[in-house]
Amino acid sequence: MGGILLFRHQQEAIDSWIKAGGRGILSMATGTGKTYTALGALKHIVEKEEKLMVVISVPYAHLIPQWERSFMQMGIPIYTVIQAYSGNSSWKREFQVAVRQIANGSLRRALVLTTHDSLRSDIFFDVRLLTNASTMIIGDEVHGLGSIARKAALGRIYFDYRLGLSATPWRLWDDEGNDFLRRYFGKIVYEFSLDKAVSEINPITGKTYLTPYKYYPYFVFLNEAEMSRYVKLTMPIISQMGRVRDIGELMNDERFSMLLFKRAELIKKADAKKDALREILEDVTRREINTHILVYVEGKTQLAMACDLIKRFNISCYPFTMELSSKKERRLGGKSERDLIIAKFARGDIGALVSMKILDEGVDVPQAKVGVLVASTTSSRQYIQRLGRILRRSEGKEVAYIYDIVVFPQVSLMGGIHRVVEEGILRREFKRYMYIAQSSLNRFEVERHIYKYMDRMGVVSGAGDRNKNPE
């Protein structure tokens, strides 16, 4: 396969997809090789079909070059590759030409690399003209294709073969989106969990598929002023929840969503996080680590705070944000600004990258060995993706360190039904922390720490399920 040797679990995933008739979703932990697994499935279809149009849809434009590089490394015999997104002004014309050429027989195969948003373009309806050729779609981070606008567009395009990829395929509070993904792509045909990835030995390398890790949750609380605002936001949320049977009904309510957003922002930007980050950096310094650190924050204020604090520990820091261009430029030697920053981080010239979400999906930084979640997210999907950025295998990386700053409301200050609801939310959150803890090298130490805070918060134990993703 063009010099790429697939691991056993990747081949098992491909076989499961083929057995399911060339439709289905692969639920594989971030960092376990979903891209090459998908390309292995594509290679099988290329060998089977004489004429083929393939569309690979990714969540962000900066992932398109990464997929193209991986495709070239696999050596798959498709000779026309089209980058179909806003960065290529001629992509629609190139796509229409490829469709016509396949239809008239002058072209056998074409690959289109696009984004979830660009896939909504009416131009993709031309796929329906390929009645004499087979078609295939690969949905990277397939959960992103279940949104209202995207599923409406995709549902009108027919593909013979359909492959969805995600560490966490299902959408939170979106039964309709999940039903569409199941109908369109098929059921989950293969799973490779985080627990398997950090415990099972790869027979080729003699090491686990992902880097074993130690997990350190830092539990802190809202201060008095923050708690007062939290209660004010919570009261109307509880009131609206009491009027419906299914909370999913509320997620399309703009006012309800805004209340949830504001409350989440309050948690993410809590003052206590600065002291917690300082403690974490002291621990990182004690371990004599000053490079390959990823820090996730929320908002520019928190980003500036984190960079300032990191520099005080004599660790070089760079903000990795959307402002960094992904466009390749001649003045940069044919590389983009993002490429250069990632290369410097990989070499250790930059000690820490501080990011606001941009590193969540697809950006490959396997050298990262320390992850600091300053803005701990309530999304299990985002949580797992961030772990995957840090747990990818890299030469010389034997252990990774995950530091997780978790902010809680002071439940004791909430009375009646408010407190009952908060305890239910906290129980779900503790379930996630336990899920991460149970696959860690310091499992028993962390579990005791978690149980201590569960008792302090008045949350009933029994939150852990070793193999079940908390979403």
Pick the closest to residue 75 from 36, 105, 120 (CA basis): 36
**356 vs 43: CA distance, rounded Å:** 35
Stretch 46-66: mean pLDDT: 93
Give the pLDDT confidence of 162-206 residue by residue, as tens digits.
Answer: 999 998 887 766 788 899 999 999 999 999 988 889 999 888 888
Cβ atoms of residues 309 and 282 within 8 Å: no
Stretch 27-35: mean pLDDT: 88
Does the pLDDT of residue 467 top 90, yes or no?
no
Stretch 238-246: mean pLDDT: 65
- pTM beyond 0.85: the answer is no
Cβ atoms of residues 32 and 195 within 8 Å: no
From start to end of 49-122, where are the E strands?
52-58, 80-84, 109-115
Does the pLDDT of residue 116 top 90, yes or no?
yes
- Pick the residue with more confidence: 417 or 6? 6
- Angle of CA points 232, 238, 242, to nearest 5°: 155
- Bridge partner list, 307: none
DSSP state letters, 390-413 = HHS--TT---EEEEEEEEE--GGG
- The rounded Cα 374 to chain-centroid distance in angstroms is 17
**252 vs 182: CA distance, rounded Å:** 21
Quick check: do 8-192 and 213-457 share a fold?
yes
With respect to CATH, is domain 8-192 assigned 3.40.50.300?
yes
- Angle of CA points 145, 74, 48, to nearest 5°: 75
- Bridge partner list, 371: 294, 402
Mean pLDDT of the chain: 86
Stretch 373-387: mean pLDDT: 71
pLDDT of residue 417: 47
Q: What ranges do the domains of the chain cover?
A: 8-192, 213-457
- The rounded Cα 377 to chain-centroid distance in angstroms is 12
Does the pLDDT of residue 410 top 80, yes or no?
no
Cβ atoms of residues 12 and 190 within 8 Å: yes
pLDDT band for 258, please (50, 70, 90 cuts): confident
- Homologous superfamily assigned to 213-457: P-loop containing nucleotide triphosphate hydrolases (3.40.50.300)
Token duo for residue 3 = 């010099």
